[in-house]
Amino acid sequence: MAEFDAGEGDEFAERDPTGRYGRYEEILGEGAFKTVYRGFDETKGIEVAWSKVDIEPFLEFPQHLKRLYAEVDLIKSLRHENIIKFCSSWVDEGNKTINMITELFTSGSLMRYRRKHRKVDAKAIKNWCRQILRGIHYLHSHNPPIIHRDLKCENIFVNGYDGHVKIGDLGLAIVMQQPIARSVIGTPEYMAPELYEEEYNELVDVYSFGICVLELVTCERPYSECNNPAQIFKKVMSGQKPASLGRVKDPEFKQFIEKCLLPALERPSAFELLNDPFLAGGEDSTKLKSRTSQISQSSLSELRLSTKDREFSLSGEEVGADTISFTLRMLDLQGQGSRLEFMYCLGSDTPGSVSREMAQQFKLSDENKAAVEDLMDQSIKVVLESRWRSQTKPELCGIGLQCYQEDLMDCNQIGMAKKGIRVA
C-alpha cells in the first residue's frame, strides 16, 4: 500500500510496533499510573487516544499485573455505541508499560464540555443521560455483569458536533465472578455507601450515574463543601447527600437524582431508569414512542409491529448465556412474506448495528429498518428483565473470564452473512 509522506521528517515521539499508530507529545489526561496522549492512525487518517500504563509499580504484585492484562482483554471484547472503541494494544517490556489505542472524542470529557458550555437545555442533559444509561446497561447485561466502579463525568466523553456520548476509562472495571464484589476502589465523591463497606453489586454504577447527573445539572463538583476524602466518607456513610443537591431547582430532576442515590436494596437498575417517564420526551425517545406504540405482543416470545407498507413479527429465545435465536417474519401489502433466522450475541451486537446490516442486505426503508430495531430492542428488554426478575445468576465455566471472552470473540467474527440468516 502506497504511503504519501510530506517529507518533513517523523513528527511522532513514538510509533507502535506495526508502524500504523504514531504518538504525539501532547498529553490529553493523566492519572496515578496512566498517561493519555494524542495519537494518529495513519491507515485511517484519524486521530486516536494513546494510553500508556506504567506497570513497574505492579511488577512486585502479580495479582495487580494480572488485573491490568484482564482490563485490556475486557476492553477488546466490548462493542457498543456508548462505550469507547478499542483499536489496539501491546506490552512494551523495555519501558515497562502497557500501551492501548482507543478512539478519540474530540470534545474531551463531559465534565470539561459541560463547564465550557454553562447554559444547556434540560433536553440535552436528558439525552446525555439516556446514552450513559445505555452504556451502563450494556455493561451490566453481560453474564456475569461488568461493573465500571469509577463512573464520573471525567470518564465520559462527548463529541460536541453531534452530542454523541461514550463511557471510557474502564481501568477499575471488573467482571463480577460472584454476585457480591469486594474491594474499595474508585473516586470518593462518586462512590456508593456499599462500596466503602466492600459488599456491592452493579448498582454502585447507578449511584455514580446519579452523582454524574447532579454534576451535569449544577456544574459543581459533588461534595465540594468537604476538604478531604475523610469528610466525604463520613457524609456518605451517614446518608448525607451533596450540598449541591439542594441547589437543583427543577423538582423532576432532583427526584430523578434522588432515585439513583437510594439505598442499594431500593435503587433501580440502569434498565429501569431507561424506562423511567422522566427520560421520555427527547427527540430520540419521541421517535421510539411513535413507533413502539404500535407494537403488540401476541405471546411472551413474539412481538408484532406494522408500518405503512409491511407487517413485522419477531420471536426469540435464549440459546445460551449471551445468545438469542431470533426469527423475523415480514409481510408486504401484496401478502408476500419472507422469514429470517439469525443469532444475536448480547456481548457484541446491538439492535442498531444488526438492523443496519439487514437494511443494507435486504434493502429495507428507513421506516422498516427502525421497526426491526424497535422490535429487537423490545424483545431483548423482555429477555433481560426476565433474567433479572429471576434471582439466579448463571455461573461461568471453570475457565472463567478467558472462556467468556473467547465466546465474545467468536460472536464478533460472525458477520450477517455468517450468522445463519436464511430467507424463506
Dist CA 281 CA 289 (whole Å) = 9
Whether 247 and 134 map to the same domain: the answer is: yes
Domain enclosing residue 94, as ranges: 14-103
**Residues near 204 by beta carbon (within 8 Å), at least 6 away in sequence:** 147, 149, 186, 191, 192, 194, 195, 264
Q: Is the pLDDT of residue 15 over 60?
A: yes
Residue 287, phi then psi, degrees to nearest 5: -60, -40
2 lies in some domain: no
Whether 99 and 125 map to the same domain: the answer is: no
Last residue of a domain, one of 280, 313, 342: 280
4 lies in some domain: no
Enclosing H/E stretch for 303: strand 302-306
Residue 102, phi then psi, degrees to nearest 5: -130, 170
94 lies in some domain: yes
DSSP 8-state assignment for residue 261: T
Answer whether 241's CB lies under 8 Å from 261's CB: yes
- Grid cell listed for 294: 404500535
Whether 203 and 298 map to the same domain: the answer is: no
Whether 222 and 337 map to the same domain: the answer is: no
Say how many CA atoms lie within 13 Å of 245 toward its Cβ: 15
9 lies in some domain: no
Last residue of a domain, one of 83, 103, 123: 103
Beta strands at 323-332 and 310-320: parallel, antiparallel or unpaired: antiparallel
Whether 180 and 318 map to the same domain: the answer is: no
Q: Is the pLDDT of residue 191 over 70?
A: yes
- Grid cell listed for 341: 433466522
Mean pLDDT over 252-272 rounds to: 94
**CA 211 to the chain's CA centroid:** 17
Q: Is the pLDDT of residue 17 over 70?
A: yes
End-to-end CA distance of the chain: 42
Answer whether 154's CB lies under 8 Å from 215's CB: no
State the helix-helix crossing angle for 62-77 and 401-412, rounded to 10 degrees. 20
Residue 89, phi then psi, degrees to nearest 5: -160, 155
Whether 143 and 270 map to the same domain: the answer is: yes
Whether 171 and 37 map to the same domain: the answer is: no
1 lies in some domain: no
For position 64, which CATH number holds?
3.30.200.20
**SS3 per-residue string spanning 10-72:** CCCCEECCCCCEEEEEEEEEECCCEEEEEEEECCCCEEEEEEEEECHHHCCCHHHHHHHHHHH
For position 117, which CATH number holds?
1.10.510.10
Higher pLDDT, 403 or 91: 91
Cis omega (within 30 of 0) on the bond before 144? yes
- Grid cell listed for 272: 429501569
Whether 133 and 204 map to the same domain: the answer is: yes
State the helix-helix crossing angle for 204-218 and 251-260, rounded to 10 degrees. 150
Dist CA 72 CA 98 (whole Å) = 9
Higher pLDDT, 209 or 394: 209
Whether 116 and 178 map to the same domain: the answer is: yes
Whether 87 and 128 map to the same domain: the answer is: no
**How does pLDDT run across 194-221, given as a tens digit for each residue?**
988 878 899 999 999 999 999 999 999 9
Catalytic choice (16, 41, 150, 169): 169
Q: DSSP string spanning 138-157?
A: HHHTSSSPEE-S---GGGEE
- Grid cell listed for 90: 501491546
Last residue of a domain, one of 42, 69, 103: 103
Mean pLDDT over 402-421 rounds to: 37
Answer whether 159's CB lies under 8 Å from 131's CB: no
- Grid cell listed for 328: 423475523
Residue 232, phi then psi, degrees to nearest 5: -65, -45
Per the annotation, the verdict on 41 as an active-site residue is: no
pTM of the model: 0.64
Q: 3-class SS at 341?
A: strand
Answer whether 247's CB lies under 8 Å from 218's CB: yes
Query: What is the number of structural domains in the chain?
Result: 3
Whether 255 and 120 map to the same domain: the answer is: yes
354 lies in some domain: yes
**How does pLDDT run across 132-147, given as a tens digit for each residue?**
999 999 898 887 788 8
Q: 62: burial class by Cβ within 10 Å (0-12, 13-18, 19+)?
A: exposed
**How does pLDDT run across 70-116, given as a tens digit for each residue?**
767 777 778 888 998 888 888 888 888 889 899 998 788 898 888 88
For position 384, which CATH number holds?
3.10.20.90
Least confident of 28-37, 95-104, 153-162, 367-376: 28-37
91 lies in some domain: yes
Say how many CA atoms lie within 13 Å of 64 toward its Cβ: 11
3 lies in some domain: no
Whether 53 and 117 map to the same domain: the answer is: no
